[in-house]
């Protein structure tokens, strides 16, 4: 995957790699119960993420996490989903991969200054609630899908997915009831 271009073929990747200056990302493995590695503690209370953490978060998303935005990830902001508390960092959102996501400056401002709300779950997926209450999970695919050895798998019982399923079921039932009411009120022959 080449930033600003998308997926490239293996021959092109090899040609580019031969000339590239390389940095390798080796994330510290999560504990089996999903808790962060023990050495992550001190860095989670610093506002600015380490270069290693920045690279991990960016590789995990590939572009701005706002639904439908494809601003290339290496030039944009990293946003604390739960805000960082500068006076008491232990009370605010931590600086870790579960609370950081890339947002382009435009969508960073929308999130900060309007009634859009952002959320992020323990498997790092970000999703957004619009001012009308609709929910959207970020992009159709992310670096977590491409580089699945780097990241824990997304759980099938993701809260946003549950809520979207419930909403879809409710909409479907409401539509069925409306249709039945109309059919009852308008029996054949027409």
Smallest gap, in angstroms, from Cβ of residue 140 to Zn ion? Answer: 15
Specify the residue, 95 or 139, whose C-beta has the smaller distance to Zn ion: 139
Smallest gap, in angstroms, from Cβ of residue 103 to Zn ion? Answer: 6
Specify the residue, 34 or 68, whose C-beta has the smaller distance to Zn ion: 68
Measured CA to CA in angstroms, residue 75 lies from 58, 70, 97, 125, 177 at distances of: 10, 12, 18, 20, 49
Smallest gap, in angstroms, from Cβ of residue 106 to Zn ion? Answer: 6
Specify the residue, 107 or 124, whose C-beta has the smaller distance to Zn ion: 107
Which residues touch 47 (CB under 8 Å, ≥6 apart)? 84, 86, 89, 95
Smallest gap, in angstroms, from Cβ of residue 145 to Zn ion? Answer: 19
Interacting residues toward Zn ion by CB under 5 A: 64, 66, 69, 71, 104, 107
Binning the chain into helix, strand and coil, the percentages to the nearest 5 are 35, 10, 50
């Amino acid at each position: 995957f080449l930033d600003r271009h998308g997926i490239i073929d293996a021959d092109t990747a090899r040609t580019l790699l031969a000339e590239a200056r390389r940095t390798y990302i080796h994330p510290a493995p999560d504990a089996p119960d999903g808790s962060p590695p023990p050495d992550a503690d001190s860095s989670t209370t610093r506002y600015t993420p380490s270069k290693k953490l920045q690279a991990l978060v960016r590789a995990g998303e590939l572009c701005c996490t706002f639904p439908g935005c494809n601003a290339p990830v290496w030039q944009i902001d990293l946003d604390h989903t739960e805000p960082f508390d500068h006076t008491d960092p232990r009370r605010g959102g931590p600086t870790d991969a579960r609370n950081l996501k890339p947002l382009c400056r435009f969508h960073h401002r929308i999130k900060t200054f309007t009634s859009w709300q952002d959320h992020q779950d323990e498997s790092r997926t970000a999703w957004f609630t619009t001012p009308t209450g609709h929910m959207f999970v970020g992009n159709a695919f992310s670096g977590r899908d491409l580089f699945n050895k780097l990241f824990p798998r997304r759980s099938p019982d993701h809260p946003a997915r549950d809520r979207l399923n419930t909403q879809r079921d409710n909409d479907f039932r409401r539509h069925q009831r409306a249709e039945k009411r109309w059919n009852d009120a308008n029996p054949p022959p027409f």
